[in-house]
Amino acid sequence: MAEALFWPVLLGLLGAVIGSFVATLVIRWPQGRSVLRGRSHCDSCDVVLGARDLVPLFSAAVAHGRCRHCGAAIDQLHWRIEAIALVIGMAAGLAVPGPVALAGAMFGWLLLALAALDVTEFWLPDALTLMLALAGLVTGVLGIDPPLTDRLIGGAAGFGALWLIAATYRIARGREGLGGGDPKLFGAIGLWLGWRMLPVVLFLAALTGLAIVAVGMVRGRAARLDDRAPFGALLAVAAYPAWLFLLGSAA
C-alpha cells in the first residue's frame, strides 16, 4: 500500500511546487517581468517573501489569500494553478509508477503552463511549445511508449492537420481562424501521444469547447461565430487525459 502511494504523493507534492513557479511565470512573463532573477516578492508591495510565505497552497490558505505584509489580495491564479499541478502529478503517479510517471507529469505541467497563458493572454509561446516537443522526443528516444516512429508521425500529422485547416479557413473566409501557435502545440502533443491518439484529442478539445459555449448560453451569454476562444488550452486539456489513458492501458 505504501509503495502504491509513493509516486502519487511524491509527484503531487512536486506538482504543487512546480505549480507555484508556473503561476509566477504565467503572471509575470506577459508583463516582461523576470521570473528567474531575484527572490520572490509580493506583486503589490514588492516586499521580499520568506519561507513561510512560499509554501504552495498552505501559505495562501493560512493568510486568507492576502499578503501578510500589505494585506493585498494574492492573485487567485497562484493557488488554482498550484492545485491543478498537484492533481496532475498525483494522476500521473496513479496511472503508472516510476520514471514514466515523472515524464507524464512533466507533460501535464508543460501543458498547464501553455493552457494558462492561452486562457489569460491568448498566447502560446514558441519557447514553451518547443520545450514540450523536445521533451516528447527525448521520452520517445528513452523507449517510453508510444514508439518513437509513432511520435514522429504524430508530430508531423498534428502540425500539418491544423496548419491545413487554418490555411483553408483563411483562404475561404479571408481572416484568421486559428492562432499560429495552435498547429505547433498540436504537433508537440503528437510527439508525446503518437498519431493514433490525435483524433481523440481533437474530438475531446472540440467537445470541451462546445460544452463551454453551451454553459455560457445557459447563463445568458450570447455566442458569436467570431468569438475568440483559446483553442490551444482546449487541446492541452484534452491531451493530458489522453496520455493517462494511453499509459494506463499499456501498464
Q: Are residues 235 and 141 in the same domain?
A: yes
Q: What percent of the chain has pLDDT over 70?
A: 80
Q: Say if CB 77 and CB 27 are below 8 A apart.
A: yes
Q: Are residues 185 and 64 in the same domain?
A: no
In a domain, 190, yes or no: yes
pLDDT value of residue 108: 97
In a domain, 117, yes or no: no
Furthest C-alpha separation in the chain: 59
Q: Are residues 25 and 144 in the same domain?
A: no
Task: For residue 99, count other CB atoms closer than 10 A to its CB.
Answer: 12
In a domain, 18, yes or no: yes
Q: Are residues 247 and 133 in the same domain?
A: yes
The grid coordinates of residue 94 equal 496513479
Q: List pLDDT tens digits, range 213-234.
A: 777 777 767 656 556 779 999 9
Q: Are residues 141 and 239 in the same domain?
A: yes
Q: Are residues 90 and 135 in the same domain?
A: no
In a domain, 110, yes or no: no
In a domain, 100, yes or no: no
d(CA 205, CA 100): 25
Confidence of residue 32 (pLDDT cuts 50, 70, 90): confident
In a domain, 104, yes or no: no
d(CA 161, CA 157): 6
Q: Are residues 129 and 250 in the same domain?
A: yes
In a domain, 102, yes or no: no
Q: List pLDDT tens digits, range 138-174.
A: 999 999 999 999 999 999 999 999 999 989 888 887 7
Q: Are residues 19 and 128 in the same domain?
A: no
Q: Are residues 91 and 129 in the same domain?
A: no
Identify the weakest region by mean pLDDT among 17-31, 72-86, 109-123, 209-223: 209-223
Task: Report CA dihedral (197, 198, 203, 207) to the nearest 10 degrees.
Answer: 90
Q: Say if CB 124 and CB 181 are below 8 A apart.
A: yes
d(CA 152, CA 170): 27
Q: Are residues 188 and 91 in the same domain?
A: no
- Of 95, 116, 142, the last residue of a domain is 95
Average pLDDT along the chain: 86
Whole-structure pTM value: 0.90
Sign, CA torsion 145/102/120/130? negative
Q: Are residues 52 and 132 in the same domain?
A: no
Task: For residue 210, count other CB atoms closer than 10 A to its CB.
Answer: 12
Domain that holds residue 5: 1-95
Q: Say if CB 192 and CB 107 are below 8 A apart.
A: yes
Total tally of structural domains belonging to the chain: 2
Q: Are residues 138 and 198 in the same domain?
A: yes
